[in-house]
Structure 1
């Protein structure tokens, strides 16, 4: 079974052939080769000089830090004779500590600068542009991953790729051109766009570009490289449509929809880096949040921003946020939900009902119902948890309700927060009332000896001021210590709004539909739902809300109820949120996010073709209309598309598009490779043998990462049993944080957003992929592959796979 695969090659693209010698060595065919070689050597030399100066300065800082730290106490006059002398001594200590801390910070900054410059010296820049502004002096600009300003020469030897003038490289053709500067557009003439390949401080190749595209040939070369366990930053080949999204800074909500492989994740991360550069005087990493689909993906993208010079940008998942808001509730993870629904077909009545209910409760109409429900809630609607513990109830649910009626103002969304403040004040009075409680009697014997001794000694020092009965005073002090400790724990619970049972409150919407009949009538009128099904839906959700773990969609709604009422989890410091894989977000999830981050601007990136469940997405027209209304008054909403797909070969894209029933995305110069293969086998044992042979062949061809993708976790277990250590691989689970192996065995839900050199689809038989809903799943899995795709079917293959797009192999063994 010998076949040629598109093995990765370390080569220069065709456009560079005239300037690269035999075997890829640097050549001299370009008329400016000598000039650019000398300029590169000059820039590298200036960086080297700066490194030497910084190293010398760092040594001085380090010596000063060690000397000050060593002499710390010798430089302090410590005198405790009088209160004034004591205060002066404290001031000396503080001043000396500040000096030590400043030197430590400068030492850390110098080390970071040195590391950055050493890395930069290997490849200082990747492009050059010559631009003559109208009425101004022509400028030559070299663009790099980071800027380098030579203080001695007072010159920008390398300009950051995020600088305004750099947009000319990404978005303009040679000729009349303009870029957007802080003071307005700058028009002029772009005379030169030159692209370089520099490796280890040596110029390997270069080419002059005339069109807008930033080097399709170099893009093809980069895409041909092996996949890696982490996504990497590649700013050299940003395309025009990608640059337009990366440099947007005037939106309130920006919806970016792009095909699989269009670079959405890279664009999102580069946009974050651009924002931090563009707004560097007012924006820091703590003001930006990236929402990823899962923890594995969070780690997969973790190196990009540090490579771009930005660190400490917060990354999290929707599920982690839900867990934080709902506290100790057991919650179904999104992965578990998808696994459950993918494992059964449409003929499974329980899963079919879950899918239909999920679709209805993910609609814009339901987001409107949820919002109206929260606004309607008063003291008699909320379910209150008592505040206390197993030994004593400090505030019963009814006591809290009576307090709630005192602070409630109809239409005032902050009334629950005011209730929390009232409970905190009432806590002190309840603590006094608890001093002589029976449970405190039993707790007296459990007071730690050290605490009891400290209290006893403190009272002895004040014995002259105390009442005559010392023992009684001592016991009361112990009681007060016990009660205060317990009160502090309850105060924390109040501040976390633990007294609001958000899940039980949300359940009332379904368990008592007549109480909220007006809301349900409006929902039914908007959706056209049959009355009988609506009653069935209400009864089903009311019942499942009594069980744990909470269904993921119920947890989202309950989290929204809690945040909207109490502010739990709210973070007003976040000013930009970037949501990746946003096709998995429906209006109710977005409604909660808008509540969590009320001051934020939003970028949603996704692809409806990769939405694996039949439910509304944020990109649907009705959802977009809802989002525009929900965000109204806070900024404009805009939509952008990234239509071109760059990751996969033309043959893989053709198969994936045919599976989906859509044309192949246009706009990219597609690479070519062998056609995907469909291997039909009689049983799982034969599948495992064919799989092991193909893995060995692909590894020998030089592929960096090979993924065996299964429909579900359960199917991964089947694959593992039949592979039986035939090949080494890493099994990827929901809790896996890092991709380490060259061969990976993983379920579909964890593969989204990650790219591999080769994808091997385990059992695409008609039994496993026989429903129309499976088209999106097959498309998503196929488009993970860069170079090669092999599909295996036990028995009859899926009718969704067009046989004219694959090379069919029938195995009898």
Structure 2
């Protein structure tokens, strides 16, 4: 199929069409690249006929299907059929794959003899369990062979549906969101190829970790970005205190900015006078003011309303001409709208505005800010548009103003991960990228680690421009954990009563409970190096060493002293993982996963945060990064919440 695609000539009839066709063929060939680590199919369903299921559609030389795309409607029974509802199947076959080679197969009978065990219960799949529990080496991989029924419901939801997925650690919410993007691009290719799909993650390290999933499924056009990159309207040169950043992130800032922008429009105190030929035409000030009031209440953007004003004024002049007996046409109206008199008048009462000038004035003067928000001004250096030092929160405000001036184009679908950590203003920035599209919102309220972390999904969806109570918006909860073993998730769940008492505790469905070691040591740094060396020696896969922010250099030195080559993840761009050991500051760990995890000094990780609840939430995040085993190394006493069960 790839060779056939590459053999086609990109003849589009002209240079532009030919270039577009050549790019289409190149993307098609890129999507058909072989993956040496896997096979073209991973399952088979036997009903009226045997159908092979794979990561993409594969046809033979005559065009007949050999493997069906996992996203096709006929593939759905592979994921949802059960003994109680076989969906027309008699048997489901799963294939074991190691290093691109088929190593095993397993049949699951859905009807007749063999469909239940000796107790009458449905038989469990050993291959499925082995695939779920396989060590994690390298970036996140796709889960097409192991998608569970409740996950498949989310993946295949209609494109017009906005889904919010509350998912405990290890429930696969990130993978589900990425596979939903792949399914939407398959099911609604024509629509979404024009409007686009975007994945928004918490940091660049996270995006590097998940970036291979969609290409492995044949989708190579989806853009991945962070919120900071999404609103990059200027160079990041300042850092706000958490208190000031929280104030700038509040939803009420949207009203402050809107009022500050529209305050540029001045009252009409003088009439418009337009010379034309030997006569002068006059539009009274009260009539102009009516136009201004009407344009302000239309709900259009500032620049669009400003662009309408010259035509409104010109139309009023034409009405005056007609009353005097003239018969002007549309060309006269256009000429009046472009005249120097009208341009000068519009410039005087409705000046142009830029996001930087408006925000600089607000931050320098406190215009429109409530009394408790004045800390924004007190802790901010004077801002001048040409030389302003913008912070991350400022860039979000600039994005808000940019949208108030000119509408932000909407995408067809946006996947937003770790949404619980975004401020209301950040959520608004993401939401306007899907103002005419839909969203898949992924997160966990228990993992909210910013001072402005959301208190409810209804609130977050409101800031995203969606209403949880409205048709087409749904909240789904995933509690079955496939990634984190039982011993680890049970240990971390001791924190839930303190950090998110309303959430259902997650439950691990893995047969292997995993390994949990809690080591009290005299020195946490040297103890961490020894524990890491032991994990690296005794267990396969990656070893993530998660440390309090600020401990990276010291722990790195200790790892080198015991002969462990390692890579440091700092939240920015990362290389291909050349080493099995990765050193991770606690604030970067969210969304990542490692086969073995060594958590260093839990009390210090929690103490870095501004309050106890946020600190314990940060700790909950780092404790749940392990796929197979967790070692907790501490010299200081553990937080009380972790010792509740002894």
TM bin (shorter chain): 0.7 to 0.9
1:248-291 per-residue CA deviation (whole Å, 9 max, x = no partner) reads: 11544211110011111111110010001111233228610111
Following the alignment from structure 1 to structure 2, what is the Cα–Cα distance between the partners of residues 764 and 275?
41
Aligned counterpart, 1:417? 303
Q: Which has the higher helix share?
A: 1
3-state secondary structure, aligned to 1:310: coil
Secondary structure of 1:281 counterpart = helix
Aligned residue for 2:51?
141
The 8 Å contact of residues 521 and 634 in structure 2, kept in 1 or not, is answered as yes
8 Å CA contact 1:571, 1:596 repeated in 2: yes
Q: What is the CA-CA distance between 1:296 and the residue it aligns to?
A: 1.4
Report deviation, 1:704: 1.9
Give the structure 1 partner of residue 376 of structure 2. Answer: 541
Give the secondary-structure state (helix, strand or coil) at the position aligned to 1:290.
Answer: strand
Cα distance in 2 for partners of 1:643, 1:767 equals 26
Secondary structure of the equivalent of 2:507? coil
Contact 2:587 2:618 in 1 (8 A): no
| Partner Cα distance (2:357, 2:135) in 1 | 51
Q: 1:142 to 1:692 in 2, by over 3 A?
A: same
CA distance in 1: counterparts of 2:122 and 2:55, whole angstroms: 19
Contact 2:206/2:571 (8 A) holds in 1: no
Q: Give the SS at the match of 1:617.
A: coil
- Give CA deviations for 1:685-743 in whole Å, capped at 9, x if unaligned: xx33322222222122243211211221x222343355564332212224332343211
Which residue matches 2:344? none
2:622 to 767, 770, 781: 781
- The alpha-carbon deviation at position 772 of structure 1 amounts to 4.2
TM-score w.r.t. length of structure 2? 0.75
Deviation at 1:747, TM superposition (A): 0.9
Query: What secondary structure, in the 3-state scheme, does the structure 2 residue paired with 1:671 have?
Result: coil
1:703 corresponds, among 540, 562, 578, to 540
Q: What is the deviation of 1:610? A: 0.7
Conserved in 2, the CA contact under 8 Å of 1:273 and 1:310? yes
> Which residue in the other structure is 1:85 paired with?
none
1:639 maps to 2:549: no
Q: Is the 8 A contact 2:185 2:193 kept in 1?
A: yes
Q: Secondary structure at the match of 2:136?
A: coil
Distance 1:541 1:115, change over 3 A: closer
Contact 1:628 1:637 in 2 (8 A): no
SS at 2:492 equivalent: helix
Q: Secondary structure at the match of 1:323?
A: coil
Q: Tell me by how many angstroms 1:215 deviates.
A: 5.8
Residues 707, 175 of structure 1: CA spacing in aligned structure 2 closer, same or farther, 3 A cutoff? closer
* Equivalent residue number for residue 733 of structure 1: 570
Task: Check 1:722–1:175 CA distance in 2 against 1; reply closer, same or farther (3 A cut).
Answer: closer
1:411 to partner: Cα distance: 2.2
User: 1:433-444, aligned counterparts within 5 Å?
Assistant: none
- Report the Cα offset of residue 228 of structure 1: 2.3
Distance 1:114 1:237, change over 3 A: closer
1:698–1:155 CA distance, 2 compared to 1 (3 A): same
Q: Identify the residue that residue 720 of structure 1 maps to in structure 2.
A: 556
Quick one: which of 190, 201, 207 aligns to 2:107?
207
Unaligned runs of 5+ in 2: 116-120, 267-287, 312-351, 383-387
- Look up the match of 1:35: none
Counterpart of 1:660 (choices 496, 503, 511) is 496
Shift of 1:306: 0.9
1:506, CA displacement in angstroms? 4.0
Measured in 1, the distance between the counterparts of 2:31 and 2:589 equals 36
Match of 2:148 in 1: 239
User: How do residues 377-396 of structure 1 correspond to structure 2 at under 5 angstroms?
Assistant: 377=260, 379-381=262-264
Q: Is the 8 A contact 2:461 2:468 kept in 1?
A: no
Question: Does the aligned pair in 1 maintain the 2:202–2:418 contact within 8 Å?
Answer: yes
Find out whether 1:566 has 2:401 as its counterpart.
no
The answer to whether residue 614 in structure 2 is matched with residue 758 in structure 1 is no
- The structure-2 alpha-carbon separation of the partners of 1:600 and 1:256, relative to structure 1 and needing over 3 Å to count, comes to same
Q: Is the 8 A contact 1:651 1:676 kept in 2?
A: no
Partner of residue 525 from structure 2, selected from 665, 681, 688: 688
Residues 562 and 129 (structure 1 numbering): CA distance in 2 closer, same or farther, change over 3 Å? same
Distance in 1 (CA, whole Å) between partners of 2:124 and 2:310 is 64
Question: Do the aligned partners of residues 698 and 234 (structure 1) sit closer, same or farther apart at CA in structure 2, a change above 3 Å counting?
Answer: same
Aligned counterpart, 1:609: 446
Task: Answer yes or no: is 1:129 the counterpart of 2:45.
Answer: yes
SS at 1:561's partner residue?
A: helix
Over the aligned positions, Cα root-mean-square deviation in angstroms equals 4.0
**Offset of 1:103 from its aligned partner?**
9.8
Which residue among 746, 750, 758 is the counterpart of 2:584?
746
SS in 1 for 2:137: coil
Alignment correspondent of 1:461: none
Deviation at 1:241, TM superposition (A): 0.9
Given that residues 414 and 433 in structure 2 are in contact (C-alpha distance below 8 angstroms), is that contact kept between their aligned partners in structure 1?
no
Give 1:95 deviation, angstroms: 6.6
Q: Any conservation in 2 of the 1:585–1:618 contact (CA below 8 Å)?
A: no
Shift of 1:102: 9.4
Deviation at 1:227, TM superposition (A): 1.8
What secondary structure sits across from 1:754 in the alignment? coil
Cα offset for 1:553? Answer: 3.6
CA apart distance, 1:205: 2.4
Q: 1:289 and 2:198 equivalent?
A: yes
**Other-structure match for 2:96:** 197
Aligned to 1:8: none
The corresponding residue for 1:330 is: 237
Distance 1:106 1:590 in 2: 33
Q: Contact 1:359–1:614 (CA<8 Å) still a contact in 2?
A: yes
Q: Distance in 1 between matches of 2:189 and 2:643?
A: 51
Asked if the contact 1:265/1:580 (under 8 Å) is kept, the reply is yes
Match of 1:388 in 2: none
1:501 aligns with 2:401: no
**Contact 2:486–2:508, Cα closer than 8 Å, also in 1:** no
Q: Which residue pairs with 2:642 in the alignment?
A: 801
- SS in structure 2 at match of 1:698: helix
Distance in 2 of aligned mates of 1:597 and 1:141: 37
Conserved 8 A contact 2:205-2:574: yes
Counterparts of 1:424 and 1:319, CA distance in 2: 37
User: By how many angstroms is 1:566 displaced?
Assistant: 3.0
Return the alpha-carbon distance in structure 2 between the equivalents of residues 657 and 420 of structure 1.
56
Distance 1:252 1:554, change over 3 A: farther
> Is residue 317 of structure 1 aligned with residue 210 of structure 2?
no
| 2:481 aligned counterpart, secondary structure | coil
Change (3 A) 1:720 1:626: closer
Q: Which has the larger radius of gyration?
A: 1
CA contact 1:192–1:209 (8 Å) conserved in 2:
yes
Q: 1:96 to 1:269 in 2, by over 3 A?
A: closer
Deviation at 1:624, TM superposition (A): 4.5
- 1:62-120 deviations in whole A, cap 9, x for unaligned? 9x99xx9xxxxxxxxxxxxxxxxxxxxxxxxx97968986996698578548744x869
C-alpha spacing 1:157/1:560, structure 2 compared with 1 (3 Å): same
In structure 1, the gaps of 5 or more residues are 1-50, 69-93, 132-137, 179-188, 342-353, 384-403, 426-495, 521-534, 806-813
TM-score by length of 1: 0.61
In the TM superposition, 1:318-467 aligns within 5 A as 318-324=227-233, 327-328=234-235, 330-332=237-239, 354=243, 366-367=250-251, 369-377=252-260, 379-381=262-264, 409-414=295-300, 416-418=302-304
Q: What residue is the counterpart of 2:486 in the other structure?
A: 650
**CA-CA distance at 1:130 after TM superposition:** 2.9
Give me the whole-angstrom Cα distance separating, in 1, the residues matched to 2:355 and 2:105.
67
CA contact (8 A) 1:660 1:775 kept: no
**Closer, same or farther: CA 376–503 of 1 in aligned 2, 3 Å:** closer
Residues of 2 paired with 1:260 and 1:723: CA distance? 28
* 2:548/2:585 contact within 8 Å kept: yes
